């Protein structure tokens, strides 16, 4: 059974911005979390980044806050802390924000980290209990 799933900023943006190709998949993932299939988490950094990007794409602030208010009922919001930042600094891959997101998910003992970022997916290895997975593969695994 999957207990806890971290959701990357790009999946949150897929949910917020209707014309993104991953919108339907993001809706499926967040609906499954809302229905209690797993515990979802996003970071405060994801919310801040999504607020900026979704506003640039035309989403009103009112709509953004409505969606956020709905999500906070069933999505745990995690702050990226000093431990996460220290890990990201020590394991710098060229994208500090991604490294910090990954560290937060790992340190929160998530089973999965859902992302579209192919570089993050390269972090899967036999020593890491957290699986970095695409939204499509995660939904397929949920249905299996």
Model pTM score: 0.92
Name the packing angle between helices 23-34 and 9-16 (round to 10°).
100
In sequence order, the 6+-apart residues with CB closer than 8 A to the CB of 98 are 117, 119, 120
| Domain spanning 4-143: CATH 1.10.630.10 | no
Here the tokens at position 113 are 């980290």
pLDDT digit string, tens, across residues 4-54? 999 999 999 999 999 999 999 999 999 999 999 999 999 999 999 999 999
pLDDT digit string, tens, across residues 118-138? 888 777 766 577 899 999 999
Question: Model confidence at 2, in pLDDT bands (50, 70, 90)?
Answer: low
Domains in the chain: boundaries: 4-143
pLDDT digit string, tens, across residues 58-78? 999 999 999 999 999 999 999
């Amino acid at each position: 059974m999957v207990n806890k799933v971290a959701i990357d900023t790009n999946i949150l943006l897929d949910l917020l911005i209707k014309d993104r190709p991953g919108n339907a998949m993001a809706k499926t993932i967040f609906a499954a979390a809302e229905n209690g299939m797993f515990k979802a988490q996003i970071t405060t950094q994801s919310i801040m980044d999504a607020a900026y990007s979704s506003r640039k794409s035309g989403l009103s602030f009112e709509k953004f806050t409505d969606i956020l208010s709905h999500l906070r009922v069933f999505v745990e919001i995690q702050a990226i802390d000093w431990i996460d930042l220290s890990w990201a600094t020590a394991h710098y891959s060229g994208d500090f924000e991604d490294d910090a997101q990954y560290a937060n998910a790992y340190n929160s003992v998530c089973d999965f980290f859902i992302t579209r970022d192919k570089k993050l997916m390269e972090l899967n290895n036999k020593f890491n209990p957290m699986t970095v997975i695409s939204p499509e593969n995660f939904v397929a695994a949920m249905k299996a």
